[in-house]
Amino acid sequence: MDRMKKFLEFLREDDYDGALITPGSNLYYLTGMAPQATEERLFLLLVNREGESVLIAPKLYENEVEWENSVFWSDEENPYEILERVLASLNLKGGKILVEDTMRASFLIHIERLLEDCTLYPLSVITREMRMRKDEKELSLMKKAAEIADKVFYEIISRDLVGKSEKQIALEIEFLIRELADGVSFSPIVASGKNAANPHHTPSERKIRPGDFVILDFGAKYEGYCSDITRTIAIGHPNEKLKEIYEVVKEAQESAFQSVREGIKAKDVDRAARDYISERGYGNYFIHRTGHGLGLEVHEEPYISQTNERILEKGMTFTIEPGIYIPNLGGVRIEDDVAVEKKGKRLTNAERELVIL
């Protein structure tokens, strides 16, 4: 596989001796393998700098995954005895070894005992650089995931939301996404009334009522790739203050989007949104970064923060999602997914003008 080849080139270039990869977005990116429910039993791909590799996997995946050299272990066996032999056969006994960032500590603690003379580094030092620049195929999958998010938004606002709880609406959003995609990219956020002052509010039993502003934040996963959209809608006669805030957020989001082009820094995009909001007196109420990279993970590089010096390149994808949150009143956030071409291109396109239901 081309990506694995490229990965090995980077690995040698940076003078690492091997890599230990557990299931997750990096394994999927490099090999196409996406085994589910592997948290408990050791499932590990080992690669050395010569490009030799061995897969150690639980026997229950024997019919599901395929790798040239593989050892499947049964529940009666101790996988770490197998691992010790494999480490020796791949000559991974000393040196600099990359380890999947999200590997469970329970695995890593065992593995460290077998790798006494090794220094461990996070796998992401290489994979985040590779994954940050999306190719045409990846961009088309992200576009699809974004289109599903748009569709779900239009469907959910076509329903009568008054009297439904935040939890109920979150469930309906999840149901709609699962009909069209692999699944959700994260648990949907539905935050109404005062709850909307909390950016990551957990949907509650609070029922939607006239006068509410409601933040809907959700995304779909399509063939592994994530979308992430936020729209804030008004129910009944909108509160004047929140209506004013809505316009500020909308313009801030637009000016951040307009700032996107190849060659500027990630922090310049944050600045565009932040300056707009600050100039209108709401700077203290914009309490998070402007956005985050998006791909196989819903949060990855490049982060659109005040400090990120990363130069934006063609093929990078991220969200732009400024918000204003006023305690005891409510909040507004508008989020789109954007790909860098010469300029920015929005992947999500659902209505950005205030929708009043």
The CB-of-218 to Co ion minimum distance in angstroms stands at 7
Please choose, out of 142-150, 192-200, 221-229, 337-345, the segment that lies near Co ion by the rule CB under 5 A: 221-229
Contact 230, 334 (CB under 8 A): yes
Segment contacting Co ion by CB under 5 A, of 195-203, 210-218, 259-267, 310-318:
210-218
Among 228, 254, 297, 336, binds Co ion (CB under 5 A): 228
Strand positions, DSSP E, the chain: 18-21, 44-48, 53-58, 70-73, 94-99, 117-122, 183-184, 189-192, 213-218, 220-222, 225-226, 229-234, 291-293, 300-304, 317-320, 323-326, 330-333, 336-340, 344-346, 355-356
In whole angstroms, the minimum distance from the beta carbon of 220 to Co ion comes to 12
Residue with Cβ nearer Co ion (49 or 131) = 131
Stretch of 70-78, 88-96, 191-199, 213-221 lying at the interface with Co ion (CB under 5 A): 213-221
Taking Cα atoms as reference points, which of 337, 272, 310, 355 lies closest to residue 138? 337
Minimum Å gap between C-beta 224 and Co ion is 17
Nearer to Co ion, 96 or 144 (CB): 144
Rule CB under 5 A: which of 162-201 touch Co ion?
A: none
CA distance 221 to 181: 6
Asked if 147 interacts with Co ion (CB under 5 A), we say no
For the segment 303-322, give every residue that binds Co ion (CB under 5 A). 319
The 3-state DSSP class for residue 334 equals coil
Q: How far is the CB of 170 from Co ion (least distance, A)?
A: 13
Among 147, 217, 268, 301, binds Co ion (CB under 5 A): 217
Residue 54 or 190 with smaller CB distance to Co ion: 190
Q: Record the tokens describing residue 133, joined without a space.
A: 């620049």
Q: In sequence order, what are the residues at sequence separation of 6 or more whose Cβ sits closer than 8 angstroms to the Cβ of residue 45? A: 20, 21, 22, 27, 31, 33, 53, 54, 55, 56, 67
Of the candidate spans 78-86, 229-237, 257-265, 300-308, the one that interacts with Co ion by CB under 5 A turns out to be 229-237
Chain centroid to CA 238: 32
In whole angstroms, the minimum distance from the beta carbon of 318 to Co ion comes to 9
- In the bound state with Co ion, the residue whose beta carbon lies nearer, of 100 and 217, is 217
Q: How far apart are CA 31 and CA 24, in angstroms?
A: 11
Q: Which is nearer to Co ion, 22 or 319 (CB)?
A: 319
User: Judged by CB under 5 A, which stretch of 64-72, 95-103, 153-161, 328-336 contacts Co ion?
Assistant: 328-336
CA separation, residue 153 to residues 22, 143, 203 (Å): 35, 15, 17
Q: Which stretch binds Co ion (CB under 5 A): 27-35, 112-120, 164-172, 220-228?
A: 220-228
Quick one: 44 or 191, whose CB is closer to Co ion?
191
Closer to Co ion at the Cβ: 58 or 322? 322
Q: Is 330 left (phi over 0), alpha (psi -120 to 50) or beta?
A: left
Name the β-bridge partners of 343. 261
Question: Torsion angle, CA of 57/63/68/72, rounded to 10 degrees?
Answer: 30
Nearest distance from C-beta of residue 219 to Co ion, angstroms:
6
DSSP 8-state symbol, 118? E
- Token pair 């990363």 in the structure block, residue: 310
Q: Which is nearer to Co ion, 228 or 268 (CB)?
A: 228
The residues that touch Co ion, with contacts defined as CB under 5 A, are 217, 228, 230, 319, 335
